Structure 1
Amino acid sequence: MELKDIKLTKQMAKALAIAEQECKQSGSPCLMPEHLLLGCLDDGSSPIKEAKQKSGIDIDVMKKPYNPSHENFSFEICEPFKIPISASTNLVIEQAISYMRNYNQIYLNEGHVLKALIKSGQTEKLLTQEQKNILLSEATVSRDMHLDLAGYSPPKKLYRDIKMLSDDDAERLIHFINNEFGTRWTQSIKHALRHNHPSIYIAEDQSGEIVGFAAFDIHQPGCFGPMGVAKKQKS
């Protein structure tokens, strides 16, 4: 497995750097899953902060009781890490990448890694069951990012390949969403389609194929989302 071939979010890259630092400070000969956990928990993103606050996780306290055994380690080299990683760390990263791909995403984030750490049993000595449950529910799932658009006015002229959804486009949009993102947004869109002129826009490529969509006001007035872009269009 070559992590160098995987795109990382900025927070994930920061978390990996922190994990390496924790490894060096602990005196471990290779980067362990525990170092990954500390890196992810110390990355500073809002979901992680909220989960730590709700669960009472204290990173400084977490570091003190842990004294890793350096016996029978199996080392591996994995770019972009500058130090060896353990076989168990490699398995965690592979599982995290699998989660990323299952979600049809192209950037590895700390939520994928945290989920892999917890589900693989690598956090048993460091987290209580309650703390694991909170992390799974708060920091490893998709989040609604509400944006208040109460004062927003649509532009008078739209881009050539972006248009408001018409009745003729509705079935194509449902098909696009199912293929690209699964069924988690389908019911919301179908519910919105029952109303006249729902605030849903689609983007098409030169052949007329839908490559993205965005909606607002369909959950509650002034709120944006869901939205999505075809995987092949992402950079």
Structure 2
Amino acid sequence: MLQPLHLLTACLDEKTGVLGEISLKITLDKSLLKDVMEDTSIQHQTCSVFFNVQVTEEVKSILEVAINYMKKYNQIYVNEGNLLKALITTNAVDRFLSDDNRKTILSLGTTSRDMITHIANYKVPIINTHHIRKVNKKEINELVHFIGKIFSNEWSQTISEAFSLNKLPVYVAFDDNGDIVGFAAYDIYKNKKCYFGPMGVALSNRVKGIGFSLLHHCLKDMSDIGYEYAIIGQAGPIEFYEKACNAVVIPSNKV
């Protein structure tokens, strides 16, 4: 029967990415947890559509909280950050974690992180180029309005300032009606070079490969400029960039 501790230990058993970083920085005696996980005498069993084994009511509640976090952040999949945050905020594993351990998990595993990917020998994957192109200066108001409405005023301000550049390092994606549904930029955030972002795709148009295509249009340009690496600032969800361009999380020195 699946318990909250199974979810926690499964996360800590992963040795790559953010979860690998967390596992190196917190201490848990897994041998002491084994007896707890094997004791099902006082657990109420139930079913979950996410697993093919019985789960506890607590696990079911944790998954519901994780799904709520997913919706809150306008995401389409429950990711490791959503699950970790649900484990901590529901207090389901509190008695097994120190305060420092909880802070480490929240700091490293539930927030956006800077990532890096090597693009010196970049090869363009098969991507959709239909309805994706560089933005032109006549579209400033439409793009800024789209970003401010769907994402944030900070992002819209960043993009607005980019229109003062001679060459706009901003790509846009359109739907079949000619409306903007996504964008991606590079080298514009605080005038930082080798810096990808921001990027966003309207929620109703995700899982169509638009974000993947926008990302690789930008990475191709950055590679052509001669950049060795691309920094992906405040990436989220992290697993998208891990799969899309083999990006890795830049280790944090905060904890």
Please state which band the TM-score falls in when normalised by the shorter chain. Answer: 0.7 to 0.9
Alignment-derived partner of residue 175 in structure 2: 205
Cα distance in 2 for partners of 1:172, 1:203 equals 12
SS of corresponding position for 2:95: coil
- 1:50–1:227 Cα change, 3 Å: same
Task: Specify the code of the residue in structure 2 equivalent to 1:225.
Answer: G
Q: Is the 8 A contact 1:205 1:211 kept in 2?
A: yes
Task: Specify the code of the residue in structure 2 equivalent to 1:123.
Answer: V
Q: Is the 8 A contact 1:198 1:218 kept in 2?
A: no
SS of corresponding position for 1:213: strand
Alignment-derived partner of residue 40 in structure 1: 11
Alignment-derived partner of residue 230 in structure 1: 202
Query: What RMSD in Å do the two structures reach over aligned CA positions?
Result: 2.9
Structure 1, 72-81 or 174-183: larger mean CA deviation: 174-183
Structure 1 residues 96-107: aligned runs within 5 Å: 96-107=66-77
Q: Any gaps of 5 or more consecutive residues in structure 1? A: 1-29
Cα distance in 1 for partners of 2:141, 2:171 equals 14
Q: Alignment identity in percent?
A: 34
TM-score scaled by length of structure 2: 0.68
Cα distance in 2 for partners of 1:76, 1:116 equals 19
Q: How many residues align?
A: 202
Alignment-derived partner of residue 147 in structure 2: 177
- Counterpart check, 1:75 vs 2:45: yes
Q: Any gaps of 5 or more consecutive residues in structure 2? A: 208-255
Structure ranking higher on relative contact order (CA contacts 8 Å, 6+ apart): 2
C-alpha deviations, 1:20-65, integer Å up to 9, x for none? xxxxxxxxxx211111111122233311111222x33346356357
Cα distance in 1 for partners of 2:15, 2:154 equals 28
TM-fit CA distance, 1:170: 2.1
SS of corresponding position for 1:202: strand
Cα distance in 1 for partners of 2:142, 2:149 equals 11
Structure 1, 158-167 or 81-90: larger mean CA deviation: 158-167
Cα distance in 1 for partners of 2:48, 2:162 equals 46
Task: Specify the code of the residue in structure 2 equivalent to 1:229.
Answer: V
Structure 1, 116-125 or 61-70: larger mean CA deviation: 61-70
Q: Is the 8 A contact 1:148 1:224 kept in 2?
A: no
Cα distance in 1 for partners of 2:37, 2:53 equals 19
TM-fit CA distance, 1:214: 1.1
TM-fit CA distance, 1:163: 2.3
- 1:186–1:78 Cα change, 3 Å: same
Alignment-derived partner of residue 87 in structure 1: 57
Task: Specify the code of the residue in structure 1 equivalent to 2:77.
Answer: Y
TM-fit CA distance, 1:172: 2.1
- 1:130–1:62 Cα change, 3 Å: farther
Q: Is the 8 A contact 1:161 1:205 kept in 2?
A: yes
Q: Is the 8 A contact 1:201 1:215 kept in 2?
A: yes
Cα distance in 2 for partners of 1:223, 1:148 equals 12
Task: Specify the code of the residue in structure 2 equivalent to 1:226.
Answer: P
Task: Specify the code of the residue in structure 2 equivalent to 1:227.
Answer: M
Alignment-derived partner of residue 189 in structure 1: 159
Cα distance in 2 for partners of 1:209, 1:85 equals 45
